[in-house]
Structure 1
Amino acid sequence: MPIRQESINKGCPKAFSSCMSPVDDTWYMDTGASAHLTSESGIKNVWWLMAKANNLVSIVLDVKNAFLHGDLMDTVYMHQPPGFHDPARPGYVCHLRKSLYGLNQDPRAWFHRFAQYALHVGFEHSRCDSSLFIYRHGTQIAYLLLYVDDIILTASSTSLSQKIITSLGKEFTMTNLGLLNYFLGISATRTKDGMFLSQQKYALDILDRADMINCKPYLTPVDTQSKLEPNGPPIADPTLYRSLAVALQYLTFTRPDITYVVQQLCMYMHDPWEPHFAALKLVLCYLRGSVNNGLQLYASSTTKLIYYSDAAWGGCPDTRRSTFGYCVFLGDNLLSWSSKRQSTISRSSAKAEYRAVANVVAETCWIRNLLLSTGAVRVLHVPSSSQYAEVFTKGLPKRLFIDFKSSLNVRTISFFPTAGVY
């Protein structure tokens, strides 16, 4: 147990006590007729760890043949593989003791094996997210985020990160990919202001797949007209539409400015029509003019959580369900955002607002448990000119869209990245 020097108290709040302690959660809501929100967690852990990387050392690790490390808990048999037949027992089968690629049990077995070892060497398993592990010893702290066989290790010192890497390397075969700069297709560039997250290469690949790499740029991804409806002539190649819509979904990880329109496009993947494809092409034209945009994270010690929410009550012309959206800021950093259609119909804006509050509280509790918040939630009115969440619920005029886009920290990296190490 190379890095275990003392036992760690169980529980997420204790693990985060020396790192962040937000003392005031403020929830800004549009109190007009369209006020409505429902929330769901996105990829807050990834962005939160990247934000912490402004002050801590972050390293990317890749586990080789991760699924082969798993110990099977179930009884699994397989036919004798080609080239390894036992001529004396041709009817026998093999009893597997370790995982092999292709088994349904592979992901669970690998994760269980990794989690067991991480706990053995002194990490805690976060109660807020199963993929997050926390290590604390005195003033030293480390966070390990596991995504299948990819790992982000964020530590308070280089020596601590090296001890953890050495310990993991003795148990699992892995490659140290160095300081955090590229993870799951997202580029992370260290700047003088913090960190810039971008999917520029991925966006260019989408444009090339759609044969729109040379299309005319557009200033906004969606017009201010009514939402998409299930009518019009059918699309000749619905497979292309679905492929591009799914690709745009992944692009929203660093592009909150297209979240609303992508949500609208994805509602019709099962049966797309020409007007839907025209709306998708408009998004691609917008991307062509903003392909170098990304999400800026700032180095900040602010621990105040601020939420903005908005909704278009009965906004879906087909089902009359509301479309809701929200964005969450930790200080100046955009931490989480979402745009989604409500699962049930609200017969009045008041009922929609009550449902919104219930979902907001659930989302708030999740984030507060992760960051150890001890403050109260306040619901306040915010004027439309400052209601950033409107970008997740409706098409906006160009000037207002550009202003809100900037407020969401979606911008171009116009300064030189800093060289060297963290």
Structure 2
Amino acid sequence: MPPPVPEAVGHPMVTRRKAGVVKPNPRYTNIAEVDTVPCSVRAALRDLEWFAAMQEDFKALQDNGTWELLGFIPAKSDSSLFVLHCGDAEAHLLLYVDDIVLAASSTELLHQIIDQLRLEFAMKDLGPVHFFLGIQVRRTATGFFLSQVQYAEDVLDRAGMANCTPASTPIDVKGKLSSSTGQPVTDPTFYRSNVVALQYLTLTRPDITYAVQQACLHMHDPRDVHWTLVKRILQYVRGTVGQGLQLRRSSSPTLVAYSDADWAGCPDTHRSTSGFFVFLGDSLVSWSSKRQATVSRSSAEAEYRGVANAAAECCWLRHLLDELHVKVDKATLLYCDNVSAVYLTDNPIHHGRTKHIELDVHFVREKVAIGDIRVHHVPTRQQIADIMTKGLSRALFEEFRSSLCLDDDARTVGGVKVAKPIVLYRLVFVMAQPLAIATIRFSR
């Protein structure tokens, strides 16, 4: 005989649901509804309604020929860049949401374009560029000085380290940290918010890029040792808060790149970390530090993958410069400190070393064959891209940092350097040294 089923005992409280009340409670009517406005471009692209609205607005701009009315042609290298070239007159327009940086070959052309824009849009002329996307811009005798001094101080304040002891380097020379070392932090959100803030600071601070990249690897499960790494970066920022990127105009538009890789350096996945710098003349315009997507079976393979990444960035920059009507006649010089990787660019016989990286090998060889890129060996002691792949001693770090176009803002000395739009931003400033330049904001 089955056991008796116990009777369900209901809670004695009388609720609105039990009483059949479906009307909203008036005491909660003043509570604000949840804001559904996306907080980032990625969030907007994931929202179907916002994505459809963005597509509709972009199609309207195309159908109306908005930029064609002014004579601008959308660049193929990047959708945020528009180029005007008519005879001796030229202008470059960078558009980010509702902000514009406009550079023209003369002040008259600049004002003419702004007046035409006013006829089409409700907008405000902010005058000569001083501040854009959180980056402070100051014109100097040699070019432009880009810095994020105020932003860096805000990051330190939010992290509670405004008065911390400065550090001489952003990361120590020890091996890379494992994801399982140490105890989980009590507030992972605080860790992530500080790392994301530092990630934006790398737009003008290439010297902290590698350290921030290492901190980003542990966003999913931050530990106390990882937070110690973040604090070390913040201490370094405290001591170099006035530093920024100095862009200088060059008489010869030549591209020079440095590529390096740290073979099997990740203690968890044994993947390699590769990094590169790209200079346009005397100005640093692009850099990267990134863990490679696959495991490399030899140091030559890891180095060659890094060379391929740097070559791809140089090819994109050459196409972009061509759209800006800047002719790059000479081949891009790409320096690597691995002799085997350099030989692989010319010698097709190394089958045993190349069968795992055939796509990268063929890509680089093709660029070498057509004369766009030349790969040369550089001694390790002169390989400045080391700063993007590993922790260095203070003396070596400062020596390499001196080659990265970093400088101190004279007005802040005494206080205790992908995304493609930012590379465009730096590049336009390098090319716009003799041009009139202004910022514009659309009215809302």
> TM-score, normalized by length of structure 1?
0.72
Q: Work out the CA distance in 2 between the residues paired with 1:204 and 1:126.
A: 36
Q: Which residue of 2 aligns with 1:158?
A: 107
Give the superposition deviation at 1:352: 2.3
Q: Which residue of 2 aligns with 1:217?
A: 166
Gaps of 5+ in 1: 1-101
Would you say 1:110 and 2:57 are equivalent positions? yes
Q: Which residue of 2 aligns with 1:62?
A: none
Letter in 1 for 2:77: C
Give SS of 1:206's match.
helix
Q: Work out the CA distance in 2 between the residues paired with 1:107 and 1:381.
A: 47
Letter in 2 for 1:402: E
Q: Which moved more, 1:285-294 or 1:373-382?
A: 373-382
User: % of aligned pairs identical?
Assistant: 53
Verify the 8 A CA contact 2:259 2:306 in the aligned structure 1: no
Would you say 1:277 and 2:273 are equivalent positions? no
- Structure scoring higher RCO (CA < 8 A, sep ≥ 6) equals 1
Give the superposition deviation at 1:179: 0.5
Q: Which residue of 2 aligns with 1:352?
A: 302
Q: Work out the CA distance in 2 between the residues paired with 1:331 and 1:361.
A: 17
Q: Superposition pairs for residues 188-199 of structure 1, below 5 Å?
A: 188-199=137-148
Give the superposition deviation at 1:415: 7.3
Give SS of 2:402's match.
helix
Q: Superposition pairs for residues 255-270 of structure 1, below 5 Å?
A: 255-270=205-220
Gaps of 5+ in 2: 1-48, 323-327, 332-370, 413-435, 438-444
Q: Work out the CA distance in 1 between the residues paired with 2:400 and 2:137.
A: 23
Q: Work out the CA distance in 2 between the residues paired with 1:366 and 1:198.
A: 25
Q: 1:385 to 1:354 in 2, by over 3 A?
A: closer
Q: Which residue of 1 aligns with 2:71?
A: 122
Letter in 2 for 1:108: Q
Give me the CA root mean square deviation. 1.7
Q: Work out the CA distance in 2 between the residues paired with 1:131 and 1:260.
A: 27
Give the superposition deviation at 1:206: 0.6
Give the superposition deviation at 1:119: 1.9
Q: Which residue of 2 aligns with 1:132?
A: 81
Residues 296-326 of structure 1: CA deviation (Å, up to 9, x unaligned): 1113222111000111011111100000100
Verify the 8 A CA contact 1:107 1:148 in the aligned structure 2: no
Q: Work out the CA distance in 2 between the residues paired with 1:383 and 1:340.
A: 22
Q: Work out the CA distance in 2 between the residues paired with 1:283 and 1:103.
A: 37
Q: Work out the CA distance in 1 between the residues paired with 2:160 and 2:147.
A: 22
> TM-score, normalized by length of structure 2?
0.69
Higher relative helix content: 2
Residues 199-242 of structure 1: CA deviation (Å, up to 9, x unaligned): 01110011000111000111110000001111211101111000
Q: Which residue of 1 aligns with 2:384?
A: 388
Q: Which residue of 1 aligns with 2:416?
A: none
Give the superposition deviation at 1:188: 0.4
Would you say 1:406 and 2:353 are equivalent positions? no
Give the superposition deviation at 1:362: 2.2
Runs of 4+ in 1 over 4 A off after TM superposition: none
Verify the 8 A CA contact 1:298 1:332 in the aligned structure 2: yes
Q: Work out the CA distance in 1 between the residues paired with 2:194 and 2:148.
A: 15
Q: Superposition pairs for residues 281-292 of structure 1, below 5 Å?
A: 281-292=231-242
Identify the match of residue 247 of structure 1 among 197, 210, 214: 197
Letter in 2 for 1:211: G
Answer with 1 or 2: which has the greater Rg: 2
Q: 1:349 to 1:275 in 2, by over 3 A?
A: same
Letter in 1 for 2:108: S
Q: Work out the CA distance in 2 between the residues paired with 1:129 and 1:302.
A: 24
Q: 1:405 to 1:357 in 2, by over 3 A?
A: closer
Verify the 8 A CA contact 1:327 1:334 in the aligned structure 2: yes
Give the superposition deviation at 1:114: 4.1
Letter in 2 for 1:177: L
Q: Which residue of 2 aligns with 1:319?
A: 269
Q: Which moved more, 1:243-252 or 1:403-412?
A: 403-412
Verify the 8 A CA contact 2:153 2:241 in the aligned structure 1: yes
Give the superposition deviation at 1:371: 1.4
Q: Which moved more, 1:116-125 or 1:240-249?
A: 116-125
Number of equivalences: 317
Q: Work out the CA distance in 2 between the residues paired with 1:133 and 1:236.
A: 47
